[in-house]
A = this chain, B = another copy of it.
Amino acid sequence: MDRPPLMRQLAFLVEADRLKEILRQTPIASGARRENSAEHSWHLALMASVLTSYAAEPVDLLRVLRMLLIHDVIEIDAGDTFAFDQGANATKQEREERAADRLFGMLPPGQDTEFRALWDQIEAGTTPESRYANALDRLQPLLLNAESGGGSWRTHGISRAQVLQRMDPIRTALPELWPGVMAIVDWACGEHHLLD
């Protein structure tokens, strides 16, 4: 465990590559295939960089980006847990905490706790940065499901009520985007992409 810091950092960065093989339920916008969690993380970070001015509270964008870049790394061990899978969500926290221990523990002393704190912060959702980041993490699959003609909503028979509950953090963290979310949900119900 006393490998040089650089060796530990490179080992972590190579291990992180496995996030490219973790598939989410949501398709990419073209509908051609399911999205993986690495490209999803890129998309969220890009959204954070473009939509900063809509955050309801002032945010430290650097902290938001660093959070979003690592927020799904724990899925390498814990897998992606589908938002609407109640059974899997019951064990999610315990699985993900164990994964965070192992994965962020690969980093050198000091950096391990720094990255773990970023992950704990986005999970807790109690800062302006984590509220903004979490709202983007709800908005992004909404855009992809709408764009791809139903995506994971259709595959899993999801309802308007389920989606509105899932999207609720957007209402307070990105209030100017809420009317657009409602319009997309109404449209998706009309198109039978969502159960009304």
Residues of A at the B interface (CB closer than 8 Å) are 6, 9-10, 12-14, 16-21, 28-30, 32, 35-36, 38-39, 41-43, 45-47, 49-51, 54, 61-62, 65-66, 69-70, 107, 111, 143-144, 147, 176-177, 180
Contact = CB atoms under 8 A, between A and B. Distances in A.
A62 B59 CA distance: 13
Contacts of A45: 42, 45, 65, 69
A66 B49 contact: yes
A63 to B, nearest CB: 9
A12 B69 contact: no
A29 B49 contact: no
Contacts of A16: 43, 46
B38 A32 contact: no
A42 B65 contact: no
Contact of A12 (B50, B176, B180): B50
Nearest to A118: B49
Copies of this chain present in the complex amount to 2
B20 A28 contact: yes
A28 B21 CA distance: 9
B17 A21 contact: no
A21 B43 CA distance: 13
A50 B180 contact: no
Contacts of A65: 45, 49, 62, 65-66, 69
Nearest to A144: B17
Given A42-B69, A62-B62, A18 B30 contact: yes
The 7 closest A-B pairs by CB, nearest first: A42-B42, A17-B29, A38-B39, A62-B62, A39-B39, A20-B39, A65-B65
Contacts of A147: 14, 17
A129 to B, nearest CB: 13
B18 A29 contact: yes
